[in-house]
Structure formats: structure tokens, C-alpha cells
Structure 1
Amino acid sequence: MDLSIGEVAQRSGLSVHALRFYEREGLFANPVRRLSNGRRIYYEEDLEWLAICTKLRSSGMSLATIRQYIELVRQGPGTEHQRLELLRRHERQVEAQVQELRETLAVMRHKVRIYEEHLARGDAHQLWNPSHPDAAQAETRQECQPSDGA
């Protein structure tokens, strides 16, 4: 089934501008086809690729790496090991990002807990108060030492 750029935009959640950008950057697995009047036409497989491509982008994969992956796909059989290695490399990067986010979340949960405790005691005015130098140091010590389960 042929799809217009507007239909692909609606179904993919990408803007028409973003779809044109993806095309210019060579980010489609298959070249975008055009009708004799120049209008772009897309197929379901293009939507499937866009779903993967947008996940790769949102996970931090660079445009250059996506292009490299696409080029390997276009080369066809015989590039599977290279594609796998490229994906494994990115998988390791995403795992590192997830670990960093977990650590950040633990600090944020601990910080929220500190503020909740101080607000409940009525002494939250001391937290990061430049006129009370010991308070900033105390909060920093508390923030940098998340308790178990944080």
C-alpha cells in the first residue's frame, strides 16, 4: 500500500520536516520512491524501519552510525557480523546510560527524601541557604551518601 508523506508523518509521529531530513541524511533503509509528479511514496516497510531508526536515535546512536548500519544492510548478505558488532557496541553504550540513570535516580530519590524530612521537621529553610554555611555542607554530605534502597 502506498503511503503519502503526511500519512507516514501521522503514523510514525515524526513531522513531515523530520521525514524529509531523514531522507536527505540517507537514514532510510531503502531510497524513498517518488511518483512521476515528484511526490514521495512510502511503504509499510518504511514505517517499520522508521520505528527502529527513531529508537536508535533516541538511544543516542549517532546519525553517522545509523548510516553505517544502513550501508551494511544495503550491502546485503555477508555483513551480518559487522552489523551485529555495531549493534553490540551500541547496546553496551545504552547499558552504560541506563546504569548512569539508575545512579542519578538514586541520588534524586535521596534528595527528595532529605527535603521531605526537613520540611516535615520545619527546618527546610536551612537547606542550601547561603546565609547558613553549615546547612549547605550538611545537605551535600546527606546527598552524597544515599541510604540503602535509595
Structure 2
Amino acid sequence: MAATKAGRDRTQPPLTIQEMAQRSGFSEPTLRYYEKVGLLGVVPRDDSSGHRRYDTPLAERVDALACLRSSGMSVAEMRRYLALLDEGDRAAAAEQHDLFARHAERLTTEIERLRVRQAYMRGKADMWAARYRGDSAAEARAIKQVERTLQEF
């Protein structure tokens, strides 16, 4: 039995949509939507019930899309990524690099914004804690920190 990189046995039975949703973190409507807009292709159906069945390669594709989506990649960018995969590694390598490099830069910017927001929240928590304790000196320091943080917005 060959195992995938994620350790999943390729001979395991296909997953139901509920199992795929639980595994990927996508909702069932999102999985249906991704099928509808072509990100998943045609999802095979159970012959007797007509219910969707996600075989191992398709489940791995959903896993990859879940990773991309959780990083903030848009549906259009995911669609482009998949189209480039179809072109082959060598032919699309430069464009795939550009797609991921641009997205990584957006993530860097978002992380910086989140760090500023985190510093603001910490400063506000410190201010309120000092106010609760009646420590006016600590409160004043926290207020100054919050004001400096606001300048970074």
C-alpha cells in the first residue's frame, strides 16, 4: 500500500462531503461551490446514492486548496494556480513563483498589520489593568504606548 506525503493510505475508501468538510475545514456549501466554479473538477458520485465521494487525489487537492485559502489566497488566484499546474512544472515555474511570491509579500504586510494591532490590544489591556489596580503611573505609560502604536496604523 502506497502512502501519500500526508500519510494517508491511497487505498482508503472515498470520503463523504461531510468527512471532506471536517478534514479540510471548508463548509459543505464551500465544497459544492468550489466544484461548481471548477476548482475541483467533477466530483465523483456514489452510484447508488448520488452523493459526492472524494477519492484520495481529490481529497489531496482539497487539502491544498484549504491551505491556499487559509492563507488568504483568492478563488481567482487558486484557479490560476491550478491552471498553471496543468501547464506542467517547467513551463509554468516562473509564473507560479510570481504568484506565490506576490502572495507571500501580501502575507508579510498583513502580519505586520496584525503585529501593530496586537501591540495596540496589549497596550489597552495594560492600561485597563493599571486603571483597575489604581496604578496611575502604569496607566500613563500604557496610554503613551497605545498612542505610539496608533501612530503606526
TM-score by length of 1: 0.72
- 1:114 corresponds to which residue? 127
Cα distance change, pair 110–118 in 1 and its aligned pair in 2 (3 A): same
Q: How many residues align?
A: 133
Q: What is the Cα deviation at residue 140 of structure 1?
A: 6.5
Q: For CA contacts below 8 A with separation 6 or more, give which structure has more relative contact order.
A: 1
Counterpart of 1:15 in structure 2: which amino acid?
S
SS at match of 1:60: coil
Q: What is the Cα deviation at residue 144 of structure 1?
A: 1.2
- 2:105 corresponds to which residue? 92
Counterpart of 2:130 in structure 1: which amino acid?
E
- Greater radius of gyration (CA): 1
- 2:17 corresponds to which residue? 5
Aligned pairs for 1:53-64 within 5 A = 53-64=65-76
CA RMSD after TM alignment? 2.8
Q: What is the Cα deviation at residue 33 of structure 1?
A: 3.1
Identical aligned pairs, as a percentage?
A: 33
Counterpart of 2:146 in structure 1: which amino acid?
E
Query: 1:60 & 1:10 partners in 2: Cα distance?
Result: 19
Cα distance change, pair 90–142 in 1 and its aligned pair in 2 (3 A): closer
Query: 2:42 & 2:23 partners in 1: Cα distance?
Result: 19
Cα distance change, pair 122–17 in 1 and its aligned pair in 2 (3 A): same
Deviations 1:66-115 (A, max 9, x none): 11111111222311221121011101101111111011101111111111
The answer as to 2:78 corresponding to 1:75 is: no
Counterpart of 2:43 in structure 1: which amino acid?
V
- 2:59 corresponds to which residue? 47
Q: What is the Cα deviation at residue 25 of structure 1?
A: 1.8
Cα distance change, pair 12–59 in 1 and its aligned pair in 2 (3 A): closer
Aligned pairs for 1:14-53 within 5 A = 14-28=26-40, 31-34=42-45, 38-53=50-65
Q: 1:114–1:142: 8 Å Cα contact kept in structure 2?
A: no
Gaps of 5+ in 2: 1-12
Query: 1:76 & 1:35 partners in 2: Cα distance?
Result: 31
TM-score by length of 2: 0.71
Counterpart of 2:127 in structure 1: which amino acid?
I
